[in-house]
Amino acid sequence: MKIAHVLISVPLQQLTLYVDQKKVNEYAISTAKKGVGEESDSFCTPRGLHIIRAKIGANVPLHAVFSKRRLTGEIYSPELAALYPDRDWILTRILWLSGLEIGKNRLGRCDTMRRYIYIHGTSDEANIGQPLSHGCIRMLNRDIIELFDKIDIGTKVIINE
């Protein structure tokens, strides 16, 4: 059985997938515009050790729109974006993170899962590589599909500052 883990570098705006301790792929990402931090309502990307708690959206179409982890039935387009200019678009796939470090990113006011921090596809692909999210880790839509298909629930994710 192959064992995967993910390393997210906030300074590099990069996600690296390792399988059996070997680097398999690197992906450009976008973390939080407000930087790193674990506090609820901070709109920051949480640091530390996490796991993939849930995988949502297997086999849905490219650019499928999610709201509260449910498909809306919409497919993202510039026309749809014009109708909802302030929407934070969560597209294609969701990898829901859960912290493993009690008092740092798990439980209380610093719980990554209760903050709804995901790795997900985005409508803002042109700005991947720049910290612009509301706390989540955004990826190119084709990249999130590839990553989603290569990892399992329980995969460790380390987010480094």
**Which single residue is written with the structure tokens 């720049």?**
130
Q: Which class in CATH covers the domain with range 4-160? A: mainly beta
**pTM for the whole thing?**
0.96
Q: Identify the band that residue 63 occupies on the pLDDT scale cut at 50, 70 and 90.
A: very high
Show the DSSP H helices in the chain as ranges: 78-83, 141-150
pLDDT tens track for 78-128: 999 999 999 999 999 999 999 999 999 999 999 999 999 999 999 999 999
**Contacts (Cβ under 8 Å, ≥6 apart) of 74:** 64, 65, 80
Backbone angles phi and psi of 78, in degrees to 5: -60, -35
- Residue 68 makes CB contacts below 8 A (sequence gap 6+) with none
Sole residue written with tokens 């409508």: 123
Domain boundaries, the chain: 4-160
pLDDT band at residue 1 under the 50/70/90 scheme: low
